[in-house]
């Protein structure tokens, strides 16, 4: 199984939080190697897919870099990339087939974003028995490839299976569980991931729509209307678009949780009752309750430190804010939704902590 090594002449990504892609680098081929040997002996990790070239792209980083503890896996990979390695999709699947499911447990973390999913991923990473990765962006790539009619679902399911298998590269021998936290748009891949890994445990994190929208706007600004809405009489205002996006993810989760094993967790519960929330999550995921105190250590620090979304940076930045008018727009959208009806909606199969 041949692989091509590429020298990175220059890193050219416009924004670090954009989806990972081969075009993030100006690079050139410098060697051909055996893919299996390279993965066994060098710190290459799966970075993205290149559908146009029919290949998977790996990056080499320093062996001292612990990607498991990074707030965003793909950002750290980009920042510290030293070399690239590409493997054809055919050989990519062969490599994954040889490795098979070398983990014993798989935890899939979906979310609406801006709701504590990075914190939960960091909590899992405190355990020696878990390799917890926050946003390997190959899965964002795959979610963007899905056809509206589902016509390529079989191909994508195979790519998901191979990507999960080759993402598991634990630094510790005792790590037998793989936890993957995805970007919000990857929720659309939950059913295909279930087909690939039917025994996996899936979590869905969300929060009050109004506080979520404020957090989103502070981090990213107001969303722009889709191109088809760009006319002067565009039907939705930015705050309304936020509300509709939040509601669409909640609806998708509820539809999925009716047929797949999924557990909901609210950000408010995770912060207010971290011990009990983690106990419920650990029980669902098959992790030992004795490890909960170790996981709680993650709550003592900013889970997104060192990135553009770090708490101290957002505080210093003159970030956008929701106005009372924006809040009313959000409430109007959700109030007209026949099943949600309000910003503080509690979705099906959500962790509930009862105080004595």
Residue 251 forms part of a structural domain? no
Q: Is the pLDDT of residue 221 over 90?
A: no
* pLDDT at residue 100, rounded to an integer: 87
Residue 354 forms part of a structural domain? no
242 close to 215: Cβ distance less than 8 angstroms: no
Residue 120 forms part of a structural domain? no
85 close to 38: Cβ distance less than 8 angstroms: yes
Higher pLDDT, 147 or 303: 147
Q: Are strands 262-266 and 177-181 parallel, antiparallel or unpaired?
A: unpaired
| Close Cβ partners of 64 (under 8 Å, ≥ 6 residues apart) | none
**Which tokens belong to 58?**
């790996």
Residue 6 forms part of a structural domain? yes
Distances (CA, A) of 290 to 26, 127, 129, 180: 48, 11, 12, 22
* pLDDT at residue 288, rounded to an integer: 97
Q: Is the pLDDT of residue 182 over 70?
A: yes
Residue 179 forms part of a structural domain? no
27-61 pLDDT, tens digit each = 999 999 999 999 999 999 999 999 999 999 999 99
Residue 267 forms part of a structural domain? no
* pLDDT at residue 229, rounded to an integer: 45
Q: Is the pLDDT of residue 231 over 80?
A: no
The mean predicted confidence, pLDDT, of the chain is: 93
Residue-number span of the structural domain to which 3 is assigned: 1-65+74-92
Residue 242 forms part of a structural domain? no
81-123 pLDDT, tens digit each = 999 999 999 999 999 999 889 999 999 999 999 999 999 999 9
Half-sphere exposure of 3 (CA within 13 A, CB side): 23
* pLDDT at residue 354, rounded to an integer: 65
* pLDDT at residue 230, rounded to an integer: 46
User: What is the total residue count of the chain?
Assistant: 356
* pLDDT at residue 78, rounded to an integer: 98
Distances (CA, A) of 332 to 230, 234, 247: 22, 17, 12
Mean pLDDT computed over 196-209: 97
| Close Cβ partners of 321 (under 8 Å, ≥ 6 residues apart) | 214, 217, 218
DSSP letter string, 245-314: HHHHHHHHHHHHHTTS-EEEEEHHHHHHSHHHHHHHHHHHHT--GGGHHHHHGGGGS-TTTTSTT-HHHH
DSSP state of 46: E
Number of domains composing the chain: 1
Task: Name the pLDDT band for 226 (thresholds 50, 70, 90).
Answer: low
* pLDDT at residue 303, rounded to an integer: 74
Residue 13 forms part of a structural domain? yes
């Amino acid at each position: 199984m041949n692989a091509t090594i590429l020298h990175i002449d220059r890193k050219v990504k416009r924004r670090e939080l954009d989806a990972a892609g081969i075009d993030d680098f100006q690079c050139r081929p410098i060697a051909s190697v055996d893919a299996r040997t390279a993965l066994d002996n060098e710190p290459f990790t799966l970075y993205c897919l290149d559908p146009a070239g029919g290949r998977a792209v790996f990056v080499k980083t320093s062996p001292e870099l612990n990607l498991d503890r990074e707030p965003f896996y793909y950002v750290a990979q980009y920042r510290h990339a030293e070399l690239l390695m590409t493997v054809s999709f055919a050989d990519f699947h062969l490599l994954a087939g040889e490795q098979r499911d070398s983990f014993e447990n798989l935890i899939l973390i979906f979310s609406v974003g801006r709701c504590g999913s990075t914190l939960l991923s960091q909590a899992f990473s405190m355990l020696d028995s878990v390799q917890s990765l926050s946003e390997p962006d190959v899965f964002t790539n795959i979610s963007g490839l899905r056809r509206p009619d589902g016509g390529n679902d079989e191909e994508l399911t195979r790519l998901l299976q191979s990507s999960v298998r080759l993402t598991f590269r634990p630094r510790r021998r005792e790590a037998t569980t793989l936890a993957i936290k995805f970007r919000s748009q990857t929720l659309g891949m939950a059913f295909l991931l279930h087909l690939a890994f039917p025994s996996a445990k899936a979590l869905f994190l969300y929060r009050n729509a109004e506080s979520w929208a404020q957090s989103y706007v502070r981090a990213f600004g107001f969303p722009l209307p889709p191109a088809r809405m760009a006319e002067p009489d565009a039907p939705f205002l930015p705050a309304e678009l936020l509300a509709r996006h939040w509601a669409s993810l909640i609806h998708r989760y509820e539809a999925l949780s009716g047929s797949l094993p999924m557990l909901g967790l609210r950000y408010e519960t995770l912060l207010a009752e971290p011990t009990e929330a983690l106990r419920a999550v650990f029980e669902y995921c098959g992790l030992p309750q004795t490890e909960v105190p170790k996981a709680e250590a993650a709550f003592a620090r900013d889970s997104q430190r060192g990135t553009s979304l770090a708490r101290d940076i957002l505080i210093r930045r003159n970030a956008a804010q929701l106005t009372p008018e924006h809040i009313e727009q959000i409430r109007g959208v959700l109030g007209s939704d026949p099943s949600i009806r309000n910003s503080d909606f509690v979705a099906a199969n959500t962790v509930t902590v009862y105080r004595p």
